[in-house]
Amino acid sequence: MSEANKSGSLVEVTYVFGSRLPKHGRCVTTRAEIQRLQHRVSVSTGYVVEVCTVCGWNHLVRRFTLGGRRSA
């Protein structure tokens, strides 16, 4: 963590892991892509990571589940 962390250089990055997604996860940047994953039948797991753009320091903010919608 650097001084920059205290002056607003932190950004939130969302990575999603799941079937048919890259092993290292996919970096999701748009709301539309999140919604597309949300509507898939297979379950994906999203990780929101806070990253300092100056020093690369990062930590997990939250984890959430996408998709897995049951067919009615």
CB of 4 to Zn ion, least distance (A): 5
Supply the minimum distance, in Å, between the C-beta of residue 25 and Zn ion. Answer: 22
3-state secondary structure of 6: helix
Q: Give 10 or 16: the residue with its C-beta nearer to Zn ion.
A: 10
- DSSP secondary structure string, 28-71? E--HHHHHHHHTSSSEEEEEEEEEETTT--EEEEEEEEEE-PPP
By CB under 5 A, name the binding residues for Zn ion: 1-2, 4-5, 52, 54-55, 57
Nearer to Zn ion, 36 or 59 (CB): 59
